[in-house]
Structure formats: C-alpha cells, structure tokens
C-alpha cells in the first residue's frame, strides 16, 4: 500500500522526514493532518511515521494525498510530557520517539520531527545521534519574529541545557550563524551576545570571556559580531542571531510569548468594548489578520537541535496541523540544504581554532 523508502532515502530527489506520531498534546490525528497538509504543498517530501501502526494506517488511509508517501514503524510505547529524560534514556527503546531518531541514525530519513517532551527528545537525540565532534553542549535554536528584513531572528539556546560556559557560547555563535545562513539565507549573519547591558564591563564573568572568544572568531567564522545585546534586541534589528544560555533563553522566549498573549487578549477586549469599536474591528479585520500572521507562533513552529549528527526539529506539544506542517517544512528545508553536513564541516574547520579558544579562555580566567 505504501512506498518503502530505501536506505538512501526514498525516490531520487525526495526528502524523507521521520515523524514521531505520538507525544503531542492532541495525539496522532493532528500529526497525520499536519503531514497531509505538508504533502499537499510539497511534492518532494516523504514520511516515515512512528507509533502504533494499525492506528496510524487507519488515519493515513483517509488522506489520499498521502498514498504511497508514508512508511510505518510500529512502536507500542509513547514518551509522555511527564516522563523524566533519564528514565526515557534507560527504558524508552519501544517508544515512537526513540524509533523516529533511529531512522535518522540509520540513514533512512533526512531528519526527524517530534511534538513530544523536549527534555526526553534532547536526551535521546544525544544518545542515538551523538554530538558532533568538537561540540560540548548541543543547543535548541528557534526563529523569533523580528523587525529585521528577513522577518525573524535566530535565538539559541532556548532550553537544551540550563548552563553554558564561554566556550559553549562560542559554539552557539558558530552554530547559530550556520543556521541563519541555511535557514534564513543570510550570507553574513550578525551575532549578538545577550547581556544586561551593552557596555563591555557589564554582566557575568563568563559573558566577558565569551565576548572575547566570539570576537576573535568572527573573521574566520564569516559572521559579524555586534557585541552585547539586550532583551529588547531579541525582536529588534541590531542582530540576526542572539546567543545565550538555555535558562535565560527559555525564560526570555516565554516572557515574550506571555507578553504577546496578554496584548492579544487586551486588544480583543478593547475591540469588544463599544458598538463603535466592534465596527472598527470588522473594518480592520484583514489588517489584524495580517498582523496575526506576521507574529503567529505556528508559522515558526520548530526548535532545531544544533550540534548533533543529524537534523532534529522539536515541534510545540500543542501544535495544530498548521504548526506540525511548519515544523516539517523546517526539517525539509534544512535537510535539502545539506545543513547537517555544512554544520559538521563548520564545527570541524574550527577545531584548530578551538584549540586557540581553549588557550585564550584559560588565559582570560583570572
């Protein structure tokens, strides 16, 4: 009934995405609706779907556009949002998440997408795909709506790890620059390092150290380093890539989301206030929808895991079919551009510089 992509990844020119069908808040029907949406728009994409095969086959058979474009891997278990990463690493072998990553590991898919538990997905990704040589901490990068011409800025790390030292931050800068080149098409991305002020004497010690390291690497890394940036620059025009540790990054994006949601709620309330304002909201509806689309988190759904042997995209757990489809498109775009190989080459080409960095770092420590 369905095509079985071969070891090299399906029909020539087709990009195969391995999809964890389970683990999202709304279950596999939303994931299947998402791949169906994606298949309609993109003739060059194929899927390997991981989860309870019988249930998944039923859902897929209802979508004619998916005929011959989906392979199945039967998995009885599911990683829940409550499962601890350490526990999943020990006993998660039968889960759809584990299986989805193994399709990338085994070379039968070009990238993996999951809506599941972020911590578990990162822990399993590190175990199954392994870190790139020279990478100490992988990072999760997201696209954040911004006033820059490309419409988005890259921000990392937004939650792979709660800590990052100066050398980790340098690697985030390199990986973020590579992602901005392949994901946003920026030839020479501008990198900013997140701090509480833009003066060089401000902030934590590891940030001053990272400032020196990133500055030294800018020329060879083919990016511009704009120095320290502040929280207000994350949606701003000062940098294309904002580098920070996973704790700060996670708090920042959630604060931004919370603020955007509060304004949306208050705006809705304001428009309901009087007959005149209700009329205004009808007249303004296309303008407001254009704005909504511009900052719609579903359009930029997908945190990319950087620093691993392979492409892994984490979709929001509460993603709807549009959101799932956006995450699939992101994995497709990166796979097609050969991002994983380029990133690996970039990190490898800096392994020599890496030695210098370690030396510089040890000198920067007082």
Nearest one of 146, 111, 74 to 300, comparing CA atoms? 146
Q: Which of 80, 136, 220, 259 binds a copy of itself (CB under 8 A)?
A: 259
Nearest one of 234, 214, 107 to 169, comparing CA atoms? 214
The helix (run of H) or strand (run of E) holding residue 243 is: strand 241-243
The helix (run of H) or strand (run of E) holding residue 225 is: strand 224-229
Nearest distance from C-beta of residue 219 to a copy of itself, angstroms = 28
Looking up tokens 């620093």, which residue turns up?
Answer: 307
**Contact present, 159 and 143 (Cβ < 8 Å):** no
Nearer to a copy of itself, 111 or 246 (CB): 246
How many residues of this chain interact with a copy of itself, rule: CB under 8 A? 62
Q: Which of 56, 154, 214, 253 binds a copy of itself (CB under 8 A)?
A: 253
- Four-point Cα dihedral 164, 169, 175, 178, nearest 10: 150
Q: Which of 1, 201, 362, 366 binds a copy of itself (CB under 8 A)?
A: 201
Using rule CB under 8 A, residue 80 touches a copy of itself: no
> What three-state secondary structure class fits 337?
coil
Using rule CB under 8 A, residue 227 touches a copy of itself: no
Nearest distance from C-beta of residue 287 to a copy of itself, angstroms = 4
Nearer to a copy of itself, 60 or 123 (CB): 123
Q: Which of 19, 49, 135, 234 binds a copy of itself (CB under 8 A)?
A: 234
Using rule CB under 8 A, residue 149 touches a copy of itself: no
b/e sequence 186-223, b meaning 16+ C-beta within 10 Å: beebbbbbbbeebeeeebeebbbbbbbbbebbbeebeb
Query: Which residues share a beta bridge with 128?
Result: none
Using rule CB under 8 A, residue 194 touches a copy of itself: yes
Nearest distance from C-beta of residue 278 to a copy of itself, angstroms = 9
| DSSP line for 17-76 | EEEE-SSSTT-HHHHHHHHHHHHHH-TTEEEEEEE-HHHHHHHHHT-GGGTTSEEEEE--
Using rule CB under 8 A, residue 362 touches a copy of itself: no
- Four-point Cα dihedral 56, 14, 150, 281, nearest 10: -40
Using rule CB under 8 A, residue 271 touches a copy of itself: yes
Nearer to a copy of itself, 71 or 158 (CB): 158
Nearer to a copy of itself, 262 or 348 (CB): 262
Token pair for residue 122? 């990162």
Using rule CB under 8 A, residue 246 touches a copy of itself: yes
Using rule CB under 8 A, residue 256 touches a copy of itself: yes
Q: Which of 162, 345, 348, 358 binds a copy of itself (CB under 8 A)?
A: 162
Residues that bind a copy of itself (CB under 8 A): 82, 84, 145-147, 159, 162-163, 194, 196, 199, 201, 203-204, 230-236, 244, 246-248, 250-263, 265-267, 269-271, 273-274, 276-277, 279-284, 286-288, 290-291, 294-295
């Amino acid at each position: 009934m369905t095509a079985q992509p071969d070891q090299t990844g399906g029909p020539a020119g087709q990009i195969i995405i391995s999809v964890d069908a389970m683990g999202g808040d709304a279950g596999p029907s939303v994931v299947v609706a998402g791949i169906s949406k994606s298949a309609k728009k993109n003739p060059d994409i194929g899927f390997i779907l991981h989860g309870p095969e019988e249930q998944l086959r039923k859902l897929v058979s209802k979508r004619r556009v998916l005929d011959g474009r989906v392979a199945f891997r039967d998995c009885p278990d599911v990683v829940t949002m409550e499962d601890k990463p350490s526990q999943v690493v020990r006993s998660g072998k039968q889960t759809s998440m584990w299986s989805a990553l193994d399709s990338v590991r085994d070379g039968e898919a070009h990238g993996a997408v999951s809506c599941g538990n972020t911590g578990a997905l990162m822990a399993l990704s590190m175990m199954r795909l392994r870190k790139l040589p020279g990478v100490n901490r992988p990072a999760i990068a997201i696209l954040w709506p911004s006033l820059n011409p490309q419409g988005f800025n890259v921000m990392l790390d937004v939650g792979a790890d709660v800590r990052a030292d100066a050398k980790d931050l340098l690697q985030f800068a390199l990986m973020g620059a590579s992602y901005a080149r392949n994901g946003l098409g920026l030839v020479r991305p501008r990198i900013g390092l997140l701090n509480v002020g833009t003066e060089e004497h401000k902030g934590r010690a590891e940030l001053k150290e990272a400032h020196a390291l990133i500055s030294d690497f800018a020329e060879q890394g083919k990016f511009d380093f704009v120095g320290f940036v502040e929280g207000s620059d994350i949606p701003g025009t000062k940098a294309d890539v904002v580098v920070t540790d996973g704790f700060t990054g996670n708090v920042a994006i959630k604060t931004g989301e919370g603020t955007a949601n509060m304004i949306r709620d208050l705006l809705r309330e304001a428009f309901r206030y009087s007959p005149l304002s209700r009329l205004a909201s009808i007249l303004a509806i296309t303008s407001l929808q254009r704005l909504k689309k511009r900052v719609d988190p579903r359009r930029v759904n997908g945190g990319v895991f950087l620093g691993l042997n392979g492409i892994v995209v984490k979709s929001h757990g509460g993603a709807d079919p549009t959101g799932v489809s956006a995450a699939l498109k992101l994995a497709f775009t990166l796979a097609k551009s050969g991002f994983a190989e380029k990133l690996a080459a970039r990190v490898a080409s800096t392994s020599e510089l890496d030695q210098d960095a370690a030396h510089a770092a040890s000198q920067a420590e007082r």
